[in-house]
Amino acid sequence: MNILDRIVADKRLEVQRQKAVEPLSAFLKSCYMERPCVSLSCALAESPSGIIAEFKRRSPSKGWIHRNADVEKIVSAYQQNGAAASSILTDSAYFGGEVSDLSSVRAKVTLPLLRKEFVIDEYQIYQAKAIGADAILLIAAILDRETCRRFTTLAHALGLEVLLELHGPEELGYLDTEADVIGINNRDLTTFETRIEHSFDMIRHLPADKVCISESGISSPDTIKNLRQAGFRGFLMGENFMKDSCPGETLKKFLQQLNNEKDACQSLRNA
């Protein structure tokens, strides 16, 4: 089994345990079930930076990145310092997250919150709505097209948006599943090898009427500038911020560098 196979196998067992503890009917009592969601796609389309600042404590490839990270403090700082949205890892075994991470920060911020999770069961979509998510991630590599379409329909019925994650050209058939945002993961989830050029290879195959984002391996303003010129409107960044003691401040400095480069380019065009 590769890494992704192990994650999915463990996720199936985890969801079974969660169902035994908290049945689906319990989610219907959540105050967030009637909450209007904030549009992730609109936030990215309107943002000058398009940065989805991610909260994660660890990863399968790097181990612990920020073991004792405080989700409320960090995501609040992301909002204060200019993030367009935030992605919250809720997987515990491989990423050090908790379902409660998203629900605890929901009352603290107005940013669109993406539940970053390996969704393999409808239960997790209802759960995402109940804990205050605005959008869910669906990964083509772990779902067949019909299941992906069915999950997207359910998410939309609950008011959630869907970020559809693709990696290779063989997954382009999933573009007909009506996702709101298309993401290209530069990381191969079977090996966790990262190649930023992957986004540039894939963008020409993506629909121009969809908000498209590049995920993983982004660490410099130059990369974002080049990705934006190629057609991307959003950029999911996690480790670049989370590896520092104050991720919000690191985001702030990154955005300052990005804005300085934009100003310099504008000055050259006007010269």
Q: Would you please indicate which residues are annotated as catalytic (active-site) residues?
A: 54, 56, 116, 165, 185, 215-216
- 84 vs 65: CA distance, rounded Å: 23
CA distances in angstroms from 127 to 142, 150, 219, listed in the order given: 19, 16, 32
Q: Is residue 15 a contact partner of residue 121, using CB atoms and an 8 Å limit? A: yes
Cβ within 8 Å of residue 59, ≥6 positions away: 65, 94, 95, 192, 239
Q: Which helix (H) or strand (E) segment is 156 a member of?
A: helix 145-157
To 10 degrees, what angle do helices 71-80 and 247-270 make?
20
Q: Is residue 236 a contact partner of residue 212, using CB atoms and an 8 Å limit? A: no
Reported for 17-20, long-range contacts at CB under 8 A and 24+ positions apart, including other chains, are 18/123, 18/127, 19/123
- 211 vs 156: CA distance, rounded Å: 17
Cβ within 8 Å of residue 155, ≥6 positions away: 125, 128, 136, 138, 161, 162
